[in-house]
Structure 1
Amino acid sequence: MAAPDLPIELWLEILQYLPRSALHGMLGLSRVLFEVVMNDLYEEIRFISDDKAMLKTFDQMKFAGIASRVRRLLIQPAFLPALEERTGLLPKVQDRLSSRWWFNKPLRISPARPVVTFNPLGTPEELEVSRNKALRAATGALALCHNLQTVTIVLYDHTATPQFNLFLDSLWQSPTIGVSNLRSLSIRTTPAKLPRLLLPLVESSKMFVNLEEVTFDITPSRLELAGNDHNRAVDALKSFFKAFGNNLIAVNLSSTRLHLVESVLGSMQPLLRLRKFELLTSLSSKQRWQPENISKFIANHASVLEHLTIKPYARRTVYHESDITYARWINPGINDATRPSAFAGVVFPKLKSLDVGLRDPSETAPYTWPPALPSRSHSSLLPNPSIFAPNITSLTLTDVSLSFPRIRDLVNQLAEDRSGGRILEKLNIMVETLTPPVFDILASKLPHLRMLTMDFNIISDLEEVRTYREPDRSLEFRELIRARRYPRWKLQYLRLTSVGFQCSARHPQPTDMGVVAESLPSGVELDSSYDCYCHMALDSPVFNRHMIHHH
């Protein structure tokens, strides 16, 4: 008689302590592990290359037991020819150089010339045969994936060949995909590529009855835009939202081209089911920003929005793209004439989660790292949350390190009686100086806070540090924290980070988290995971660890 299998909950607990590489070797240990491994192998299909391994995967997907496991599809065809390969001309040198370190180097630009390259993978004809074979295999395999829920397309400066376009058309026209479970679509591309990717979707919009979430990440091309590419991209987005607007619950827009975003949002009819909106674009006077269109869109959906993210820069761009214009829009002065059309003039009765990239209006000079200490002004950077978002439960404030007076004012506002509103449960902020008084005020004013993430520049026992060059006072901080106890604080999750010495990413500070956890009730989860892959992260024994602290 076969031994009874372990409960699935126990297997999942065991797998948390094992690296993912060990999972596939456990395929035959039990039926539970077989299902876990098979889902791990086929739940997400990444169509990136046209090699033998990819063809083998598509061949395996012809079996119903495998095709039914596919939930997510990534299409990032790195095997397509680059644009300059297709045209036979090299783009201008300055268009190919994206690094800012090249800006001051004198360059002699020669006229465009034919590309003469040697490709060890084969002749152009052989490469085309390989591409087309993979695309045909993908077309047949994906038509069997009845449970596909998420599609992500990443296509930048590669040529969309006729065979690739046929592959996409077949994907959108397949009844097994459109009518079933497709709920999320993400497209990362350039303005020139956007119309070709969207218009077939619009034509088949009646098939996508369950599409609820869309993400558009529009980035500049290495090559110059043609004269009408921008307008065609705007028209394509307008057509898409007109076709799918009544279905959408979540919309995420990211683009360095502010005018594109403004044109689309300004003409959009209210999305009746919208609950989540994310906007990441360069909001600054440099791009001649007129806030009316964005303000109108937000105001039209303020009564239904539950999750809102606003960042004054697009993904993978720099912070200093924003300026005082954005700061005044977020929270203008009481007597500011722009207040009625600003973000501060809107009330969000159902908003639960808010993530805002801040900008300090007192900083008139371009942003530098590290920022000046202390802030020249302690005026509030955000409207009073208890007024404009009485039901907020999660707040994330990034890009500006808050001084202690600003932290105190913010916490006092969050602790105000919100007339039966919800209680804040999650807080993620940046602070100039991590000091014991910060924890004192959080524990006393927000005792029901369950998740706390703080990124700090300096750690000290002093309430405010005057300069970054002062001696390290982390030992004094730890001594004071060890003497404190917060028995009524219901904190369940803690993450403290600071910028790494040899890495621009934020690194966890497990020692300081452990000291703070001693002052809290037992059972707090300490998040020591890294978001980067620098040598400190790879050498750390807690690279991806979430540890429960017990006294």
Structure 2
Amino acid sequence: MPLASLVLSSNSIFKTSSVPSLPTELWFHIIGFIPLEDLYKLAGVNRAFFEEVMNEVYSQLSFISADPRIFYEKLATLQNPTLSERIRVLTVWPSAVRDAINAIEHDKSRPPGQPDVPERSRTPQPRFKHVRYLSRGREYVEELLGHHKPPQPAPTAPNGKEPLPSPEERTKLFKESLRRLSRVEEFELNWYIDQGKDHHAWSFSLFPDIWQGIGQHLRRLAIDIQVAKMGDAVTSCLSLPRLEVLDLTLRCYPSRSDLYSEQYQGDTIVPYFINKFAPTLQELSMKTIGHQELSQHFQLLGVFPRLTKLTIVMPLDSYHLRDPSGYRRMLKNHPQIRDLSIKYTRCCRDCTEDGFDTFEGKHKLYGDVHLPALRSLELGLHIPIPKGIMNNSLYHNVVRQLGTTNNTLYYCLAQMGSELTSLTLTDRNLTLEEVKTLLGLFPSYRLKRLSFFAKVLSPRLIDAIAQACPSLSSLSLDVETVSSQDPCTETYMNPDVEGFAKALYSYGVDRQYDRWRYRAWTLADVSVMRWELKVGHQYNWRCMQAIAAVVPSVRSFAGRGHMEPDSDLKTGGGQRLVELDARTKPLDT
């Protein structure tokens, strides 16, 4: 029976209180085939569907608003143990929680600037009776006329709502709510936009309760924080026995100039914190924003036997990484890494080289580093690419003959993984010559997936990729413009999509003699994106069709599994984290 018929029949049976006696495992198997946006419509099928929908609706909880009313309403809702057990993802902004606890709600019905309770005048009361009566004004007239004021009602909260608990009670309620979150698997901590407030600037004393409340089942931890606050946030975190994914973003703003002066050499809190999770950690991401000395971060890192994915987003040059031995040792100690992402970011100056080249033609960071398990590499191309294709067998001879020590970075990076099957190049729009240079350095004949940014999409670019990557199955391009020739000058501002399609077809197909230049190419999926003014960042449907017309093996566009022109063929901006259909998750606002 088709899945749709089974669900509809089950739904009708459920409404008549005659539920089919199917095993629970089968119902959960059926749920796995239903899209998330349609799942909530089937909440009435049976208890399994209802529980799955409720788990999805209440899976995320966020404390990111300093509004005390919103904060208190969430805490009151979490007193329901059934609901609090559904929370799987928790997001906390400590500054917002601190301000929401200490905030005093004001009556919005009063004029601006008028206090909630009239303050007692500090001026001494006049001694003379007539002066006292004149100062009383309207009250004296009412007293003479015999008009008596009705008793004043007790002050109420704004808009007729119940008054908020005191800050002490809100703190206690927050701690109780944390103890109820017994099944949180993902925790995101953001503490970088915080200037403090009055006398409690920078202070947040609830971290021990947070780690103790959610630490036992935590599998993913993401921290975006200023370096100055790192110790306050993680010192009380003793153990997370199930942590598998750690994502760190460390910020150092110019306002904290003492942190990045010549005497500042980093802090041991970062590596010591990471080392706590050595037995279980599988994915590690480290990103820095602002000037920091990075040597100590890597010098004190231990060995992570289960680490398979590593992401480094830092200004990895000799100015910020004065001692490269720790970084190099970290790579050599983890040959089991399968997924590696290295992005060079700009910090204090625009570097043309990283300063780690040696006269022998080796690189201090990546020379002689081999990762036999490496399958996927994402590389940020902030440092300029050397001109000319550097053949692996001739490169060292050229270095010795010319006596040059520059441009060993990309060569040594390309030699780390001989079994590489996926390559992603970011942070630079590549020219045709740069594409040829990079594909000549990497083991491109093994690549199955390739993704990069290109200045010009032209027939020569497609041909260069086909020649260098004969085993490619997935190609993803983000292009600046489209042209029938490369380099293009006249058509740079006006993309010539039709000219590109005709030139590519005439070059790749000869129908008279039935010759297909790319007949043996294994490309199965192609994606071409381009940004257009007043349109946005969209897939270019015509360019993908032009490539598919000359490559017989193409069967899919943009990873969808088919080539039909759907209306949803556009960028989604990432996964929807808080929306379920047209609704918003109630606890993640």
Q: TM-score, normalised by structure 2?
A: 0.65
Match 1:38 to one of 40, 43, 54: 54
- Residue 169 of structure 1, aligned match among 196, 208, 220: 208
Pair 1:55–1:477, CA change in 2 (3 A): same
Structure 1 position 290 matched with structure 2 position 322: yes
1:186 Cα deviation after fit = 1.4
| Aligned-partner SS, 1:234 | coil
Q: Distance in 1 between matches of 2:499 and 2:184?
A: 55
State the alpha-carbon separation in 2 of the partners of residues 119 and 294 from structure 1.
Answer: 59
1-side partners of 2:306 and 2:378: how far apart?
Answer: 20
CA distance change for structure 1 residues 195 and 461 in 2, over 3 Å: closer, same or farther?
same
Q: Does 1:74 align with 2:91?
A: yes
TM-superposed CA distance for 1:237, in Å, is: 1.4
Q: Could you say which residue in structure 2 is the equivalent of 1:403?
A: 431
Partner of residue 339, structure 2: 307
Shift of 1:389: 0.6
Residue-by-residue CA offset, 1:210-266 (whole Å, 9 max, x unaligned): 223222211234743556999697132133134333443222111134544222112
**Aligned to 2:236, which of 189, 196, 200?**
200
CA distance in 2, matches of 1:294, 1:127: 56
Structure 1: stretches of 5+ with no match in the other structure: 87-115, 365-378, 418-422, 529-538, 547-551
Structure number, greater radius of gyration: 2
Residue type of the alignment partner of 2:542: T
Give the alignment's TM-score, normalised by structure 1.
Answer: 0.69
487 and 59 in structure 1: CA distance in 2 versus 1, 3 angstrom threshold: farther
Rounded to whole Å, the distance in 2 between the matches of 1:288 and 1:232 is 10
* 2:142 alignment counterpart: none
Q: Distance in 2 between matches of 1:384 and 1:231?
A: 31
Matched residue, 1:510: 541
- Letter paired with 1:525: F
Partner of 1:346: 369
Structure with bigger RCO (C-alpha 8 Å, 6+ apart):
2
The more displaced of 336-345 and 395-404 is: 336-345
Q: What pairs with 1:134-173 in structure 2 (closer than 5 Å)?
A: 135-156=171-192, 157-159=194-196, 165-173=204-212
The residue number in structure 2 matching 1:186 is 222
Aligned to 1:494: 526
1:542 and 1:162, CA in 2 relative to 1: closer, same or farther beyond 3 A? closer
For residues 4-54 of structure 1, the C-alpha deviation after alignment (integer angstroms, 9 at most, x for no partner) is 6997777766646xxx5x865664466565344312222221121255555
Secondary structure, in 3 states, of the residue corresponding to 1:325? coil
Name 1:110's counterpart in structure 2: none
Q: Cα deviation per residue 1:268-327 (whole Å; 9 max; x = unaligned)?
A: 233333322222122346x454362454244433523222211122xxxx689541222x
What's the C-alpha RMSD, in Å, of the aligned pairs? 4.5
Residues 370, 415 of structure 2: 8 Å contact kept: yes
The 3-state SS of whatever aligns with 2:206 is: helix
Q: Among residues 445, 450, 464, which one is paired with 1:427 in the alignment?
A: 450
**Do the aligned partners of 2:248 and 2:287 also contact (CA within 8 Å) in 1?**
yes
Q: Where do 5+ consecutive residues of structure 2 fail to align?
A: 1-12, 104-111, 117-156, 388-406, 509-515, 561-566, 575-589
Distance, in Å, in 2 between the alignment partners of 1:143 and 1:336 is 59
CA displacement at 1:407 relative to structure 2: 2.5
Counterpart for residue 92 of structure 1: none
- How many residues are matched? 462
Instruction: Map residues 371-390 of structure 1 onto 2, 5 A cutoff.
Output: 382-383=410-411, 387-390=415-418
CA distance 1:79–1:145, change in 2 (3 Å): closer
2:556 aligned residue (499, 524, 533) = 524
- Quick one: distance in 2 between partners of 1:79 and 1:501? 38
Partner SS state of residue 339, structure 1: coil
1:386–1:416 Cα contact (<8 Å) kept: no
Cα distance in 2 for residues equivalent to 1:23 and 1:383 = 50
2:381 to 319, 335, 358: 358
